Amino acid sequence: MTPTLRQSTLLCLALSLCALLVVPANFPGLSGDARLTLAVFALATCAWIGTPIDDTYIALGAGLALTATGVISSDTLFGALGDATVWLLICAFVLAAAVARSGLAGRAAVFLVSGARSVRQLTHLTTAALVVTAFAVPATSGRAALALPVFLALAKALADRRRLVVMLALLFPTVILLSAVATLIGAGAHLITVSVLWESTGERIGFTQWLLLGLPLAIVSSHLAAEAVLLTTTRRADRAGPVRITPEQIQEHVRDTEDVGGPVTGPWEPAETRCALLLATVVALWCSEPLHQVPPAMVALIGAVVASSPALGTVRLKDALKTVPWSLLLFMAATMAMGVAMSDSGAAKWLVAGLPVDVAPWLFLAVVVLVSTAAHLVLQSRSARSSVLVPLVIAAAVGAGVNPVAAALASTAAAGFCHTLPASAKPVTLFADIPGTPTYTSRDLLRLSAVLAPLTAALVLLFALSVWPLLGVPVVR
């Protein structure tokens, strides 16, 4: 153990011990289970913030501690890994592997981007393409990896216009992060939010409802962010010149990616046709869940089996399973169990008991959005932020008379902003350092964040107060 790690660990232990000691054992309404939960929760949060220990390892340790002390049962801990939302994500990654192997990504890139004739058209067509990928590829890191070859092709075609390349390098992770709210599988944090809501309030948000609420926000925020990126990283002269991206330029670089095959123009290959039909069918069944009542996880499982079948599939199952982020799934399962402990033990309710409950609903949601927007400066993992914030937000919302669904959604959507530092999110890190290709600096990120942070926070608050109530999620219970 390095000195830095040792010092950080000792600090976390000290802070957690203090957290345990300052909570009176005989505090009214605070049970022994709640006291233990608060101590474990404090230790995990401090470790996530102050140590380089893997987030999943910390979450598993916290889940084990809660189980060993009897706060939650072993069935609760292990059962979280068998939750339908976890299976949904596993099968979605299998489908994503099939899409990547078929070559549909390159063909879609050509269809959209090669039609651009101006810098602004290129920016917004690229944004539209990245928003669509939220339906095909789960989790932001997976979408970033799939989009990287397309970015490299665009960077090569625009090699003589450095500022435009830097703009695109910043545009890709920005849109990927903000458009994740479009679908339930867009980020692991969404699945944690849905699980905590179900355990705490008995209300479950399905794929269709999340799509109805999240897609409009994703489209608006992504295109506004695209304008912000364009205006903060380029000059008027950079935006004035025409652009011309040919299919051949994209083909040359997209084909360099091992998982992508097939031409990007011309007649469709049989594998591409089958994969496109399968993906369209799966998405259509997800969106029409209220009509046929087949759970999204079951639809995804059927799609994954077909996508990896010897006769109709485009990828072998064992190859597709290699793309599944098992560490993320374990992290989600452990943090779901932590959320159950926070709710069932009464710890979350106790933590927010001292907050004023007579504030206006709009003010309550504004505070939730502001805290969630800034939380990435402390907790870099988006899933960790949801596991910490959502149980507290739900408990506080119930006490304040605010609809906990609206509060949880607002918190999760606002947490999608994490652009301030290169290490704030995996997509930002991935595009920040690309050998041989000009990309953005920390100064570029700070300049964009100064505009984008208040913009996205205001937009989420606007949707929570004005748009979501029209779509069936009122502000007040």
Q: Give the residue extent of every domain in the chain.
A: 1-71, 72-471
Q: Which residue has the higher pLDDT, 361 or 102?
A: 361
pLDDT at res. 11? 47
Please tell me the distance from the alpha carbon of residue 136 to that of residue 104, in angstroms, as a whole number. Answer: 10
Question: What is the SS3 assignment for 402?
Answer: strand
pLDDT of residue 260: 47
Q: What is the pLDDT of residue 247?
A: 67
| pLDDT score of 235 more than 80 | yes
Residue 55 confidence (pLDDT): 78
Q: Which helix (H) or strand (E) holds 448?
A: helix 442-462
Quick one: pLDDT band at residue 21, thresholds 50, 70, 90? Answer: very low
Q: What is the pLDDT of residues 284-341, one digit of tens each?
A: 888 787 778 788 888 889 988 998 888 888 888 888 888 787 887 888 788 888 878 8
Q: What share of the chain is helix, strand, coil (3-state, %, to 5)?
A: 75, 0, 25
What is the pLDDT of the chain when averaged over all its residues?
80
How far are the Cα atoms of 18, 194, 315, 351, 430 from residue 275, in angstroms, in the given order?
A: 55, 29, 10, 49, 27
365, 359 Cβ separation under 8 angstroms: no
Please state which of the ranges 243-247, 249-253, 450-454 shows the lowest mean pLDDT. 249-253
DSSP 3-state assignment of 476?
Answer: strand
* pLDDT for res 353: 67
Name the least confident of 111-120, 395-404, 465-474. 111-120
Write down the pLDDT at residue 470: 92
Q: What percent of the chain has pLDDT over 70?
A: 85
Q: pLDDT at position 258, please?
A: 44
Structure tokens at 422: 């290169």
pLDDT mean over 139-155: 78
Band the pLDDT of 261: cuts 50, 70, 90: low
The residues with which 476 forms a beta bridge, in sequence order, are 402
pLDDT given for residue 189 in this prediction: 83
The reported pTM is 0.79
Interacting residues of 309 by C-beta distance below 8 A, sequence separation 6+: none
Question: Are the CB atoms for 137 and 143 separated by under 8 Å?
Answer: yes
Q: Which residues pair with 402 in a beta bridge?
A: 476
Higher pLDDT, 339 or 213: 213
Is the pLDDT at 26 greater than 90? The verdict is no
Amino acid at 449: S
